[in-house]
Amino acid sequence: MARTGAMEDVVGGTGFWRNRSVLITGHTGFKGSWLALWLETLGARVTGLALAPPTQPAMFEVAGVGAGMERSHLADVRDLAAVTAAVTQARPEVVFHLAAQPIVLRSYVEPVETYATNVMGVAHLLEAVRHCDSVRAVVMVTSDKCYENREWVWGYRETDAMGGFDPYSSSKGCSELVTAAYRSSYFNPANYGSHGVAVASVRAGNVVGGGDWAEDRLIPDLVRGLIAGKPVPIRNPHAVRPWQHVLEPLFGYLRLAQLLVEQGSDYAEAWNFGPLDRNACPVGQIVDRVMALWDGSTASGWVSDRQPRPHENVFLKLDCSKANARLGWRAQWDIETTLRFTINWYQKWQRGEDMRAATLNDIRAYVAKASES
């Protein structure tokens, strides 16, 4: 597969990722599929560990992600033996942990499954890493919802308290505590010379992009409604979220992983990756913009969902000044660009285009913008 020099310059230095062994958990999901495909373009040897694709259609299948991977293990992160076997076989140098139960409303219905996956899954992965001497860097992906949400108008910093009203948010706070405990106990930066493993956690805002078909997520729900020609019920039109394209945090994860390998303990800590400040806007505003991008109209595009719903936070924003200053990472796309690329992806899929090629083109466009910064 052809690789662009610009991609390697932005996220891989002089071919940093070429032939490097990488394990991604959750590679069949929306975010994991984008990450796996990006790493493939950089020449990494990618192994995945996940359940079967969680939706139909699925980004993993539609974009042909598996075609460029070394192997794909279908296994559950709640199974310690399966996780250990996959890590042992892959002998990765870099691990990205994305496997999770990612839906807030589902966590109210299945709280035990949510905790088992999002908390014990983290412990299982880190335990497997502890017994695999090939690993040098681990990026544990959680969520901006890991913070104790006080409805502040300013962004949460990496040193703010963990918390969570609902089982999903709470599980992400718990997963951060598990990661911190393993880092302190087994991968302590102060003893980096003896173990050689750098563990970081990353927290991102509301991620959107083509290829997400999850239930109870705004963009997928809107796309399904637009294709079916039916108004979409919207729960919290006034809730403010920090919207960003999926490539934004992935850019940060790749940059961070490289620094973890090259400089180890200096970066083994928690990091926020959020959008531009002006991308934090109400749900209703996003809905209207999506409608306009889809067919040029906002008429009858959505209705207020007045059914009783579990609690959801109204305002959430991240302070990303640490990543800006120390990683040289900055969000690249404003909200208009983010939504335009997202809706264009779904429309190309609806027209039956080659979605692997379309997805790679989106990655190239993002890299071209990042290269200008």
Using one digit for the tens of pLDDT, what is the confidence trace for 257-309? Answer: 999 999 989 999 999 999 988 888 888 899 989 999 998 765 556 676 666 66
Strands 232-234, 302-304: pairing is parallel
pLDDT at 55: 95
d(C-alpha 138, C-alpha 132), whole Å: 12
Instruction: Give the mean pLDDT of 213-229.
Output: 91
- Domain holding 230, by residue range, is 5-372
Using one digit for the tens of pLDDT, what is the confidence trace for 326-361? Answer: 999 999 999 999 999 999 999 999 999 999 999 999
Instruction: Give the mean pLDDT of 243-251.
Output: 97
Higher pLDDT, 1 or 283: 283
pLDDT at 2: 35
d(C-alpha 278, C-alpha 280), whole Å: 5
The 10 Å CB-count burial string (b at 16+, else e) for 144-159 is: bbbbebeeeeebbebe
Q: Which CATH number characterizes residue 29's domain? A: 3.40.50.720
Q: How confident is the model at residue 177 (pLDDT cuts 50, 70, 90)?
A: very high
Cα–Cα separations (whole angstroms), residue 362 to 24, 43, 239, 306, 358: 21, 18, 28, 37, 6
Rg (CA), the chain: 19
Yes or no: say if 257 and 139 are a contact pair by the CB < 8 Å rule.
yes
Helix (H) or strand (E) holding 10: helix 5-11
Kindly report the number of other CB atoms within 10 A of residue 177's CB atom.
13
**Which range among 80-89, 141-150, 234-243 shows the weakest confidence by mean pLDDT?**
234-243
pLDDT at 311: 62
Indicate the SS3 state at residue 333: coil
pLDDT at 243 over 60: yes
> In terms of Cα–Cα distance, which of 205, 204, 316 is closest to 270?
204
| pLDDT above 90 as % of the chain | 77
pLDDT at 251: 97
| pLDDT above 70 as % of the chain | 91
The 10 Å CB-count burial string (b at 16+, else e) for 14-40 is: eebbeebbbbbbbbbbbbbbbbbbbbb
d(C-alpha 364, C-alpha 168), whole Å: 33
Yes or no: say if 91 and 18 are a contact pair by the CB < 8 Å rule.
no
Instruction: Give the mean pLDDT of 156-164.
Output: 94
Instruction: Give the mean pLDDT of 107-123.
Output: 97
pLDDT at 312 over 70: no
Yes or no: say if 316 and 144 are a contact pair by the CB < 8 Å rule.
yes
pLDDT at 8 over 60: no
Q: How confident is the model at residue 116 (pLDDT cuts 50, 70, 90)?
A: very high
Yes or no: say if 45 and 71 are a contact pair by the CB < 8 Å rule.
no
Indicate the SS3 state at residue 45: strand
Q: How confident is the model at residue 4 (pLDDT cuts 50, 70, 90)?
A: very low
Mean pLDDT of the chain: 91
pLDDT at 301: 64
Using one digit for the tens of pLDDT, what is the confidence trace for 10-67? Answer: 565 559 999 999 999 999 999 999 999 999 999 999 999 999 999 999 999 999 999 9
Q: How confident is the model at residue 1 (pLDDT cuts 50, 70, 90)?
A: very low
pLDDT at 208: 96
pLDDT at 306: 65
Instruction: Give the mean pLDDT of 236-260.
Output: 92
Q: Which two tokens stand for residue 350?
A: 């609806």
Total number of domains constituting the chain: 1
- Evaluate if pTM is beyond 0.85: yes
Q: How confident is the model at residue 231 (pLDDT cuts 50, 70, 90)?
A: confident
DSSP at 324: I
pLDDT at 298: 54
pLDDT at 158 over 50: yes
Cα–Cα separations (whole angstroms), residue 128 to 123, 333, 352: 9, 37, 41
The torsion angles phi and psi of 216, rounded to 5 degrees, stand at 60, 35
Indicate the SS3 state at residue 151: coil
pLDDT at 279: 86
Yes or no: say if 101 and 114 are a contact pair by the CB < 8 Å rule.
yes
Residue carrying structure tokens 């800006």: 324
| Strand partners of residue 346 | none
Sequence length of the chain is 373
